[in-house]
Structure 1
Amino acid sequence: MDKDPSPTSPVRDDPAGRSSIEAKITEIARIGIVGLFAYWSLTLIAPFAIILIWSAILAVALYPAYFALSVMLGQRPRLAATLITLVCLVIIVGPLAAIAISFAEGVQALLARLDEGSLLVPVPPESIRNWPLVGERIHAGWSMASDNLEAALRQFEPSLLQAGSKVLGKLASIGIDLLGFVVSVLVAGFLFRSGERLAETAEGLADRVGGDRGVGFVRLAAATIRNVARGVIGVALLQAFLCALVLHLFKVPAPGAIAFMVLILCIVQIGPALVLVPVMIWAWVQMDFGPAVLLTLLLMPLFIIDNVMKPILVARGLSTPTLVILLGVLGGTLSYGLIGLFLGPIILSVFHDLLMIWMRPDTAAERAMPASSRLPRAT
């Protein structure tokens, strides 16, 4: 007679449980290997991340122009990409290089005049004394500089040396930033031909993550990039370039520094009046009547370029607040230099638009998206 199995008998192995554990271990190993390669890849491209991001933004912003030019040339995408790249080098890098070089020359000229002792400081107005908190100190320091500039420089020598070293460091970094701009434009030229495939990849990834709404977000991001890049940064570059050209023709001191201030003010949507109005006043004081009138007439169109160009370049109403663009300009410049001046407002504008759409209900979000980013709802 068979005996009943004892409770203390050994339990047989469970093949199903062992297979489940092995599958989990295998999945964890796969995730670890993918994560390791992803980390290594990010480490390798980290030094070039800003250039690659700016290249992608340029490619997105200029792709409609590239596509139209390719059609005009009889479906010759390589020639169209080459022409767009050359035009970008002339239009974007050329004016930036001219402004940067002029700015550096102005600073060097100021330092040379300080070294020669030929720089004269006017007497400060008495109204400065009435400024709260700092009026007396500013008036005293200004008066010392107007009476004996050399003694004032000796007194403030530690602070001036520290500030001077920072200025020289920034001037040295301008050359590196310009080189980064050139590389970004060249990389963007190579991205044009694969633009459709890259867009399909981005939309496919967005579809896997967020469905139809995720694809709409990707297209909304592209529309925002084009609006800010063409309607804000493009117009600001045009204004700064024309300003530098006019000031250089009339031999106005430091045209590069003035044009750079115009560039920043136009990007943050303040306008060039804060800089150009004092320049006009200076022209009427220092120049003869004819040149002063001509300079004023040539600078006046810079005040209305925004109203003329933006309705043409902006496909939809620019909804990004001025504060967001200002923070993008300041944060981008402080973090990434000259490229950050343009990259910062675009990145923050895209994030702002996506955040505002994401916070709305699905139906309201779809109505707020541009027509090109709306997808038919699934039935």
Structure 2
Amino acid sequence: MADQSSNEPHATENGKSEPSVDARVIDIAVRLGVLGLFAYFSLQLIAPFFLFLLWAVVLTVALYPAYSWLAGKLGGRKVLSAILLTLLCLAIVVGPVAVLVVSLVETLQGWYQSLTTGGLKMPVLPERVATLPLIGSKIADFWQTAGQGLEALFAKIGPMVVPAGGRILSVLASLSGSILFFVVSIILAGCLFVPGPSLARGAKRVADRIIAPRGAEFVDLAGATIRNVSRGVIGVAVIQGLLTGILLIAFAVPLAGLLTFVALFLCIIQIGPALVILPTIIWAWSSWDLVPALLFTVLMVPVMLVDNVLRPILMSRGLDVPMLVILIGVLGGTIAHGLLGLFLGPVILAVFYELVIAWVKVGEEERGGAEAPGTEREGQ
């Protein structure tokens, strides 16, 4: 009888009847259903742009201190500062790629002209190579074919080159798509610089509704983590790549530009420049005299190891999260989701770590409050 009465409308003091429990449940279910439907269709609409927006937010958070400093130097001209910083970022992304492509095209054109005009002559194959078992005769045959000219060479290796050429073209197409992706993300980030503070306040209000009362604190933690990771990973990678390139060019190492690009890429993905520097040092000792090889080694070894000193300092500055948590987030995020995971990994892991610590502290406080009356009675 009590259950049946609870499902019937009840009269209030002003004479109006309250809806029954079942009616309230149905009302809440309908509202949640409509809200979920709108959320689903909204996510479907922004899904094609989600990665662009996510990268734009990461870039905006990482570069906002530079934008704020530039706006202060320009007398508070926020729009002009955003435009200048966006153009600078576009030049940093597109410039090296354009230089690398131009250099590659010029090199290929030089090789093609040398081959077609006969200016490129194959050196004489050493006899000990031609007499190698199993592969010596094949190497000698290929060497002789290459010396006859471009047409004979391509007739010989054409069937093997075509599949490899297809893979190379697919890699170049992927690289072009990645460059376009970063260009669009940088432009979107430039549009977010000016409304950045109001967007941050809105994000804090939403976070307070979801994780009250520490939502705003977690938003600040996410922003600080992104900035520290950008300084500790990208910043250190740029420093290492720049120093590596300067030394390679100063010592006239062949293919210095390509080696610098590879070293920078290895630094960004957290492998380090050792795979470029160590073979270069070995080559220097086998090709140079003692003094230049020793000087090159003495200068290159600190460049190879500088990230072990700078990265912990820059990544842990201003954060209460242990360095090990940030480092695991960086490595795990990079392995799982590539370059985007480099930033999202430590942010997610740092926020989760803080949530667990807050949950444990709340449990300890509740347990301490429950034990306090009992201890007082025992003392009495």
SS at match of 1:177: helix
Maintained 8 Å contact 1:73/1:80: yes
Q: Amino acid of the residue matched to residue 202 of structure 1?
A: A
Quick one: which of 344, 358, 375 aligns to 2:355?
358
Measure, in 2, the Cα distance between the counterparts of 1:21 and 1:118: 91
Measure, in 1, the Cα distance between the counterparts of 2:325 and 2:101: 28
2:268 is matched with 267
- Which residues in structure 2 correspond to 1:165-184 (within 5 Å)? 165-184=166-185
What's the CA shift string for 1:314-373, capped at 9, x where partnerless? 4347444655434433443xxxxxxx4x322111121222222222245769xxxxxxxx
Measure, in 2, the Cα distance between the counterparts of 1:119 and 1:318: 55
Measure, in 2, the Cα distance between the counterparts of 1:263 and 1:106: 23
Measure, in 1, the Cα distance between the counterparts of 2:326 and 2:171: 29
- Bigger Rg, which one: 2
TM-score of the aligned structures, taking structure 2 as reference length: 0.67
Distance 1:111 1:37, change over 3 A: farther
Taking only the aligned residue pairs, the percentage that are identical comes to 39
Maintained 8 Å contact 2:205/2:215: no
- Which residues in structure 2 correspond to 1:61-100 (within 5 Å)? 61-98=62-99
TM-score of the aligned structures, taking structure 1 as reference length: 0.67
Distance 1:18 1:331, change over 3 A: closer
1:209 is matched with 210
1:347 is matched with 344
Maintained 8 Å contact 2:56/2:185: yes
Runs (5+) with no aligned partner, structure 1: 1-12, 124-138, 333-339, 366-379
Measure, in 2, the Cα distance between the counterparts of 1:359 and 1:100: 49
What's the CA shift string for 1:123-143, capped at 9, x where partnerless? 9xxxxxxxxxxxxxxx99987
Q: Amino acid of the residue matched to residue 343 of structure 1?
A: L
Aligned-residue offset at 1:217: 1.8
User: Does 2:329 align with 1:329?
Assistant: no
Across the aligned residues of Structure 1 and Structure 2, the Cα RMSD in angstroms comes to 4.7
User: Does 2:219 align with 1:218?
Assistant: yes
Distance 1:37 1:361, change over 3 A: closer
SS at match of 1:80: helix
Aligned-residue offset at 1:294: 7.7
Maintained 8 Å contact 1:99/1:259: no
Aligned-residue offset at 1:157: 8.7
Aligned-residue offset at 1:266: 1.8
Measure, in 2, the Cα distance between the counterparts of 1:324 and 1:36: 33
Q: Amino acid of the residue matched to residue 357 of structure 2?
A: R
What's the CA shift string for 1:283-303, capped at 9, x where partnerless? 444467897678667756633
What's the CA shift string for 1:201-233, capped at 9, x where partnerless? 111111001113222222111111111112211
- Which residues in structure 2 correspond to 1:1-379 (within 5 Å)? 28=29, 30-98=31-99, 146-147=139-140, 149=142, 162-244=163-245, 247=248, 252-255=253-256, 257-286=258-287, 299=300, 302-303=303-304, 305-306=306-307, 310=311, 313-314=314-315, 315=317, 316=319, 318-320=323-325, 322=327, 324-332=329-337, 340=338, 342-362=339-359
Distance 1:106 1:226, change over 3 A: farther
Measure, in 2, the Cα distance between the counterparts of 1:110 and 1:148: 25
Aligned-residue offset at 1:305: 4.7
Maintained 8 Å contact 2:325/2:349: yes
Maintained 8 Å contact 1:98/1:256: no
SS at match of 1:212: coil
Aligned-residue offset at 1:41: 2.9
Maintained 8 Å contact 1:280/1:295: yes
Maintained 8 Å contact 2:62/2:230: yes
What's the CA shift string for 1:238-290, capped at 9, x where partnerless? 43345446546766454454334312432344431221121133244446789
Choose between structure 1 and 2 for higher RCO, CA contacts under 8 A separated by at least 6 residues.
1
Measure, in 2, the Cα distance between the counterparts of 1:100 and 1:239: 22
What's the CA shift string for 1:92-120, capped at 9, x where partnerless? 44335545766x6699699979x999889
Runs (5+) with no aligned partner, structure 2: 1-8, 11-15, 127-131, 146-153, 363-380
Measure, in 2, the Cα distance between the counterparts of 1:107 and 1:141: 34
Stretch moving more, 310-319 or 262-271: 310-319
Measure, in 1, the Cα distance between the counterparts of 2:201 and 2:95: 33
Measure, in 1, the Cα distance between the counterparts of 2:243 and 2:32: 54
What's the CA shift string for 1:11-36, capped at 9, x where partnerless? xx999698987776665555444434
Distance 1:287 1:63, change over 3 A: same
Stretch moving more, 202-211 or 86-95: 86-95
Measure, in 1, the Cα distance between the counterparts of 2:291 and 2:284: 10
Measure, in 2, the Cα distance between the counterparts of 1:364 and 1:61: 31
Distance 1:83 1:17, change over 3 A: same
